Amino acid sequence: MKIIALAHDPGGANAVAATVAALRVAGAEVEAYAKGPAIRQFQRLDVACTAVSQEHHTLFSRLAGDILLTGTSQYDDFELDAIVWAKKKGIPSIAVLDYWANYRQRFQLSGDPNAEPIFPDTITAIDEVCREGMLADGLPESQIQVVGQPYFSWLLARQQGIKNIVKPPQYIFFASQPNANEVEILRILINVLSEYQPLEKLLIRFHPRQGKCPVSLELLEKSGLPFAIDESTDTLATLSQQDMVLGITSIILIEAALMGIPAGSLVMGIQDTLMTNKYGLTIPLTSPEKLRYFLNFCKKIEINQWFVEQQCDANLQVAELCKTIISNRF
* pLDDT tens-digit profile, the chain (330 residues): 899 999 999 999 999 999 999 999 999 999 999 999 999 999 999 999 999 988 898 999 999 999 999 999 988 999 999 999 999 999 999 999 999 999 999 999 986 778 899 999 999 999 999 999 999 999 999 999 999 999 999 999 887 555 555 688 999 999 999 989 999 999 999 999 999 999 999 999 998 888 788 999 999 999 999 999 999 988 999 999 999 999 999 999 999 998 889 999 999 999 999 999 999 899 999 999 999 999 998 766 667 788 888 899 999 999 999 999 988 877
Name the nearest CA neighbour of 169 among 293, 11, 42.
293
| List of residues 6+ apart from 57 with CB closer than 8 A | 81
pLDDT of 212? 81
Question: Which residue segments constitute the domains of the chain, with CATH numbers given?
Answer: 2-156+312-329 (3.40.50.2000), 171-302 (3.40.50.2000)
Give the contacts of 288 (CB within 8 A, at least 6 positions apart): 188, 191, 192
For residue 40, the tally of other CB atoms under 10 A from its CB is: 16
- For residue 12, report the phi and psi dihedrals to the nearest 5 degrees: -65, -35
Q: Amino acid identity, residue 297? A: F
**Of 313, 265, 97, 264, whose CA–CA distance to 165 is shortest?**
264
52: closest CA among 24, 21, 27, 77?
77
Give the pLDDT score at 163: 57
Report the C-alpha gap between 102 and 107 in whole angstroms: 9
CA distance 185 to 231: 21
Pairing mode, strands 244-247 and 263-266 = parallel
CA distance 195 to 282: 24
Q: How many residues does the chain have?
A: 330
Task: Check residue 111 and give its pLDDT.
Answer: 62
Q: Encode 204-258 in three state secondary structure.
A: EECCCCCCCCHHHHHHHHHHCCCEEECCCCCHHHHHCCCCEEEECCCHHHHHHHH
The two most distant CA atoms of the chain are separated, in Å, by 66
User: How far is the C-alpha of 104 from the C-alpha of 235, rounded, in Å?
Assistant: 29
| pLDDT reported for residue 285 | 97
